[in-house]
Structure 1
């Protein structure tokens, strides 16, 4: 019998199967990254966001469609990662509005909710771009309303919507030039279609089960101890999904980084738990083996201090707030140390391939007792999540939209504790705009970009996100990129070398540039960043 209504039980199944469908196909979505660099994470970000929505939904026993939709909206809001994840969370938010006050959805109700999802997502984006997930979502909403009066079942309704969405997706390269240049369709739109297909599978009884791995619960220490007794302060947990994972080798690789270590699993999936003072380094070692999911880092010293503070402090006694606090997102021990040396309060481990969630950023905000908090995302794919965390906080949060680490460092250096937040914001925005960023990485696939032929494993030199140099030698591409970025007005070049580059190689590059331009200052620092051999800051 064909379904004419969706109740809470059915909507719950739809969302869970939407998550399963995307999880099973996220590598396909990841592969649609416009640039052939190793940061194709749209599918991963959307999948993690869907996972957060699904976990909230699973906590609902029974419930109306309003209850289920609201749970999915709340879960996706806090779990949103990357721009695609934030947009997906806004789609769920709009969908939930359409389910308000309803125990079940008719075809017309479902159409209105899908249209509301699109409307809400469009309003959340300052400058909507056509040819993206927003376009696919809008077309789904409009088509849903158009056909809602003539469709007689939920099954046929969803079939029509999916077919229309796929036609729209095929046209996205005609709407967005970069998609056509790269020869791909929009990744976010593709991910959204996989979710809708999951909805259809749930309605038609074709649900699949994606084996999930429970996150290891943190070890709780009940006894009261001083911070000095907590030798390793960060409880670090994550799951590695890869191929040919050697559990014993990985244990040896991270064994010296802490205690309470637990690594279990098989060659395709491993659960990791360790108490360490260097969570970033442990995570980077995990990245070498495969994809990371369910990443969780808890500052045990902070939690301990907070418990003692709360137990000793009268509830009505005010907490002294300092004037300013700062949060930065980065990866690599060297870059982390640099931001710490610049008095940044909270460092969130993340960046390419590992975008922190809205909740991660919100937690960092909550950890800082300050009236004004500056957030430096240092990645264009984290800015929306940072702004979403800002909306959830009662503190005065200022997101400085830094897209690269050099921009973030320049902005932090422009900070003046004696000035107002408005003056500091203006100074930081100006400082980040005066920095050019270079990055040297490698290609993950064959492609063509701006008439440049690129082969898998080619070395790529990028200036402010655009591919400028392609070659087979790291040293040659790095030198050519730097040489072309330096102008007559250049006064300083800073070289941050990654985990796969030696200090000798980095210094050789600096010396070679000095021979060409002996009138500029060149500084070399260990960044320790994965994936990128070099990051250059040109001022």
Structure 2
């Protein structure tokens, strides 16, 4: 798991420019690669520091760190992915096909529920395809084959990669914005790279270069597509806040009315004494002060960050 997240950080760093170049959904701000890399870096550092042989503890530490430092839509969803991925691994010292399938299934549920308006043709579609493929492959054991064998793990990972590649290719036809620009979804490619890093960590073989030939707009010589799009308007607001589940649901509703791309995901379990949970909040708004006022109406936000939604901003 530590090797996986270290490889994910490296591969996202190497591909960040091309991911930025095709980032036009949900807004053409050209920062998906940067956001994923910075979030993965926080995760990899936390995993490296986790002194345990329990996979759930290692990946859980990575997920919590990623959530605290998440950048943008893609980074936030990647953090949700890691946080959910860790749960079935609690108490386990090795990964198996069935465990991978269970983790991806939990990731799928958490990621889709974190978004107020989940959209096909994004990272969510790639995750759904990967989860379905893992479930089918891990269940298809031959007679006499142990379900937790290395052979089934390798078969499951290969099925996940094949399904993820196909789902990334399909994103171009699922969103009009991507179809018109003739590119695949940047977040979907980012998740494919993360899954490819997992394959490399487990069996020593990553994604072949031929895979990228199938992804429209992803070649090095292709232009930065987002530069040709209408300029994005508004601000990305992110913060952390401690609320009861009921207050969190109310805040999500109000943010849905004020903006778009609302993501709210819990940071850790419910505190039984207070009845509250820490939440990571993400929203795109035209009036950030109004959104911040709504947040402050229900609690005291921490780690408030504003980022202008245009392609030449610097983090």
Q: TM-score range by the shorter chain?
A: 0.5 to 0.7
Match of residue 175 from structure 1: 174
Which SS does the other structure have where 1:384 is aligned? strand
Alignment RMSD (CA, Å): 4.0
Deviations 1:349-373 (A, max 9, x none): xx87xx67x6xx34xx79xxxxxxx
> 2:65 aligns to what?
75
Change (3 A) 1:141 1:43: same
Q: Say yes or no: does 1:136 pair with 2:99.
A: no
Aligned to 1:188: 187
For the residues of structure 1 that align with 2:191 and 2:2, how far apart are their CA atoms? 17
Compared with structure 1, are the counterparts of its residues 15 and 395 closer, same or farther at alpha carbon in structure 2 (3 Å cutoff)? Answer: closer
| Residue in 1 that maps onto 2:285 | 403
| Deviation of 1:77 (Å) | 1.3
Matches within 5 A, 1:288-307: none
Q: Do residues 47 (structure 1) and 46 (structure 2) align?
A: no
The Cα of 1:400 is off from its aligned counterpart by 10
Whichever structure has more helix as a proportion of its residues is 2
* Residue 204 of structure 2: aligned partner: 205
2:263 paired residue number = 384
Equivalent pair of 2:263/2:283 in contact (CA under 8 Å)? no
Residues 125 and 61 (structure 1), Cα distance of their counterparts in 2 relative to 1, 3 Å cut: same
Unaligned runs of 5+ in 1: 1-10, 208-350, 367-373, 423-438, 445-529, 532-539
4+ residue segments displaced more than 3 Å: 378-381, 391-397, 399-402
State the alpha-carbon separation in 2 of the partners of residues 66 and 94 from structure 1. 10
Matched positions, count: 250
- Cα distance change, pair 86–38 in 1 and its aligned pair in 2 (3 A): closer
Shift of 1:76: 1.4
1:198 alignment partner, SS class: helix
Give the corresponding residue for 2:89: 99
- Which structure shows the higher strand fraction? 1
Aligned pairs for 1:430-445 (under 5 A) are: none
Deviations 1:12-33 (A, max 9, x none): 2112212222221121111112
SS at match of 2:285: coil
User: Do 2:29 and 2:309's aligned partners in 1 also have CA atoms closer than 8 Å?
Assistant: no
Whole-angstrom CA distance in 2 between matches of 1:28 and 1:48 = 15
Gap runs ≥5 in structure 2: 142-150, 207-233, 243-250, 299-307
Q: Is the 8 A contact 1:43 1:191 kept in 2?
A: yes
Structure 2 counterpart SS, 1:101: coil
CA offsets, 1:149-201, max 9 Å, x none?
33624333222211221111111122111110121111111000001111111
Where 1:148 maps in the other structure, the secondary structure is: helix
Cα distance change on mapping 1:395 and 1:194 into 2, 3 Å: closer
> How far 1:206 sits from its partner (Å)?
5.6
Residue 380 of structure 1 deviates from its aligned partner by 5.3
Within a 5 Å distance, the mapping from 1:402-481 to structure 2 comes to: 403-404=285-286, 407-408=287-288, 411=290, 421=297
Cα separation, 1, equivalents of 2:80 and 2:309: 34
Higher relative contact order (CA 8 A, sep 6+): 2
Question: Post-superposition shift, 1:62?
Answer: 3.9
Contact 1:82 1:384 in 2 (8 A): no
> What are the within-5 Å matches in structure 2 for residues 486-505 of structure 1?
none
Aligned to 1:321: none
Q: Residue 90 of structure 1: CA displacement?
A: 1.2
SS, match of residue 165 in structure 1: helix
Q: Structure 1's 421 and 25: CA in aligned 2 closer, same or farther, altered over 3 A?
A: closer
Query: Which residue does 1:147 correspond to in 2?
Result: 137
TM-score between the two structures when normalised by the length of structure 2: 0.66
1:119–1:440 CA distance, 2 compared to 1 (3 A): closer
Is the radius of gyration larger for structure 1 or structure 2?
A: 1
Aligned 8 A contact 1:20 1:198 in 2? no
Question: 2:13 matched to 1:14?
Answer: no
Superposed CA deviations along residues 324-378 of structure 1, whole A, max 9, x for unmatched, are xxxxxxxxxxxxxxxxxxxxxxxxxxx87xx67x6xx34xx79xxxxxxx999x9
Deviation readout 1:73-104 (Å, 9 max, x if unpaired): 21111111111111111111221122123232
Contact 2:72/2:282 (<8 A) preserved: no
- 2:144 is aligned to none
User: What residue in structure 2 maps to residue 160 of structure 1?
Assistant: 159
- CA-to-partner distance for each residue in 1:184-236, whole Å, 9 max, x for gaps? 111111000001111111123368xxxxxxxxxxxxxxxxxxxxxxxxxxxxx
Q: Distance in 1 between matches of 2:136 and 2:282?
A: 42
2:22 to 23, 32, 52: 32
Q: Contact 1:118–1:138 at 8 Å: present in 2 too? A: yes
Hey, what does 2:210 align to over in structure 1? none
Structure 1 pair 440/176, CA: closer, same or farther in 2 (3 Å)? Answer: closer
TM-superposed CA distance for 1:59, in Å, is: 0.5
SS in 1 for 2:139: coil
Mapped to 1, the partners of 2:137 and 2:76 lie a distance apart of: 28
User: What is the rounded CA distance, in whole Å, between the counterparts of 2:69 and 2:179 in structure 1?
Assistant: 31
